[in-house]
Amino acid sequence: MTSLQDRLLAAHARDDRAALVGLYTEAADMAANIDAACFYLTHAYIFALEKGDPASDALYQRLKAEGRV
Amino acid sequence: MAKDIPLQTLDAVQQPIETANGLPNAHYIDPDVFNVEKQAVLCANWAGLAVAADVPESGDAKPIEFLGMPLLLVRDRQGQVRVFQNICRHRGMILVSEPKRIEGAIRCPYHSWCYSTEGKLVSTPHVGGPGQNTHEAIDKSLLGLIEVRSHIWFETVFVNIDGNAAPFEEVHADLIARWSDFDQPMYHGGADSTFILEVKTNWKLAVENYCESYHLPWVHPGLNSYSRLEDHYNIDEKGKFSGQGTLVYRQLTGDDGAVFPDFASLDDKWAEGGEYITVYPNVLLGVQRDHTFVIILEPVNHETTREHIHLFYASQQTDVTLRAKNTVQWRGIFEEDVFVVEGMQKGRYAPGFDGGRFSPAMDGPTHCFHDWVASKVADHLAAP
């Protein structure tokens, strides 16, 4: 199975921002600590914001809960 | 240098037409004078930038470089057309590099600061460190996109770059009233109804040629068959606008005799009338019973002008063949003018040319424009 890192790089390479929302969310969910999670959540949130993806609301709330927005 | 423009040459322009000279050579061939006019004439007034149809749908964004400035034309989520400086408030990076649909937010491609289509700064990722998206020193409410003052009239986006002009409706009240019949929906003909002519001339020469009918029988002989010189009249409202009108506008017809639908409830004078007026400084407009046009003159530099031509109709649905025929007809007419405006530009390199003289009978609209430009430059030079 392709690693998350490879899938992220591939999505970046093809500039697939919709996919990046899900992949960075997945990275956040797998992160070892809250700081790393918030780093990935930030990326997921930004790409969702840019795309107008409804997932941005939930991502924002997750960041807000950690005092990161 | 700005202060080197001799005030006596501006005075000579502002004399009565019988004795006035035109603007002298430097106003056409000197980059320094171009820069003065950029400030005094183009930035200090309501200059044409684009047409609203350039961003037809909410979220549409089009970067436009105007007078060397990076601007961004956007139709926001509420449908309002706005103009912003096309730069991020963080490091001044260009935000949008090609026309696109903003699906959600405008994301800076550098550090991903995000803005709404209304210009509000909505996110500053990692600004407080990794995963920390706020910082007490960064007040998002103060760091929205810098909006350029804009106004839509005649489906045209006008901008007042320096922000100090009187309101558009006030400056152009007389013209708005004159053409109140056309204060009604008009529809851009689409991709087949727009074209660009890049011309090696100073933008003012395109205005000057457009304003007068004197040249029509010589440069546009095809018009003689139905639109003779004596069928035209001058429009010259000193300090406001100028142009020309015709009393014998003839509708274009298709092979089957079809014509474009008329605008609604027009006065009888438009049955065979048409008017062609410059909204100073750089927008050339034409109105007729069944279609209108907008020409935005983009002053690229002191000797290059891009003419952005757009045709509009009274109905959203018009015959595609007839529309194409109309575009071809207007393109032909406007291309006939190219050698004239380019020839006058070359002529401005003749040493000692005094700006020329005007026919008191025929050149009133052109002199009106010269007088307006001279007054704006003089005011600019006299300012502290």
d(CA B69, CA B148): 11
What confidence tens digit (pLDDT) does each residue in B148-165 have?
Answer: 999 999 999 999 999 999
Query: Per-residue b/e over B356-379, b at no fewer than 16 CB within 10 Å?
Result: bebeeebbbbbbbbbbbbbbbbbe
Burial of A66 (0-12, 13-18, 19+ CB in 10 A): middle
- Among B350, B7, B41, which Cα is nearest to B207's? B41
Work out the percent of chain B whose per-residue pLDDT is above 90. Answer: 91
Work out the percent of chain B whose per-residue pLDDT is above 70. Answer: 98
In angstroms, the separation between the Cα of residue B121 and the nearest Cα of chain A is 12
Which whole number is the average pLDDT over B106-118? 98
Helix H or strand E segment including B235: strand B232-237
Instruction: Tell me the residue length of chain B.
Output: 384
Which whole number is the average pLDDT over B127-152? 97
Residues in chain B within 8 Å Cβ distance of A31: none
- Among B129, B101, B131, which Cα is nearest to B117's? B101
In angstroms, the separation between the Cα of residue A2 and the nearest Cα of chain B is 26
- Interchain CB contacts (distance < 8 Å): A and B: 51
Comparing alpha-carbon positions, the chain A residue that sits nearest to B129 is: A39
Do B340 and B210 meet the contact criterion of CB atoms below 8 Å apart?
no
Q: What integer pLDDT is reported at residue B107 of this predicted model?
A: 98
Q: What integer pLDDT is reported at residue B236 of this predicted model?
A: 95
Q: What integer pLDDT is reported at residue B7 of this predicted model?
A: 85
Residue A1 has pLDDT above 80, yes or no: no
Per domain, the residue ranges of chain B are 2-45+167-382, 49-153
Do A22 and A52 meet the contact criterion of CB atoms below 8 Å apart?
no
Q: What integer pLDDT is reported at residue B1 of this predicted model?
A: 43
pLDDT category, B68, cuts 50, 70, 90?
very high
Helix H or strand E segment including B265: none
Token pair of B233 as six digits: 């009249």
Question: Cβ atoms within 10 A of the Cβ of B181, count?
Answer: 15
Of B105, B106, B126, the CB nearest to A42: B126
In angstroms, the separation between the Cα of residue A22 and the nearest Cα of chain B is 16
- Its sign, for the CA torsion A33, A36, A40, A41, is positive
Looking at the DSSP bridge assignments, the partners of residue B188 are B312
What confidence tens digit (pLDDT) does each residue in B272-282 have?
Answer: 999 999 999 99
What confidence tens digit (pLDDT) does each residue in B166-193 have?
Answer: 999 999 999 999 999 999 999 999 999 9
pLDDT category, B75, cuts 50, 70, 90?
very high
CATH class for the domain made up of B2-45+167-382? alpha beta
Q: How far is CA B244 from CA B210, B240, B363, in A?
A: 8, 14, 10
3-state DSSP: chain B helix, strand, coil percent, rounded to 5? 30, 25, 40
What confidence tens digit (pLDDT) does each residue in A31-41 have?
Answer: 999 999 999 99
Fold of B49-153: Rieske Iron-sulfur Protein (2.102.10)
Residue B220 has pLDDT above 90, yes or no: no
d(CA B288, CA B97): 37
Count of structural domains within chain A: 1
d(CA B240, CA B281): 10
Determine the structural domain holding residue A13 and report its residue range: 4-65
Residues in chain A within 8 Å Cβ distance of B106: 50
Residue B80 has pLDDT above 90, yes or no: yes
* Global pTM value: 0.95
In angstroms, the separation between the Cα of residue B103 and the nearest Cα of chain A is 5
d(CA B336, CA B243): 18
Residues in chain A within 8 Å Cβ distance of B115: none
Interface residue ranges in chain A relative to chain B, Cβ cutoff 8 Å: 35-39, 41-43, 45-46, 48-53, 56, 63, 68-69
What confidence tens digit (pLDDT) does each residue in B2-13 have?
Answer: 557 888 899 999
Comparing alpha-carbon positions, the chain B residue that sits nearest to A43 is: B125
Do B218 and B319 meet the contact criterion of CB atoms below 8 Å apart?
no
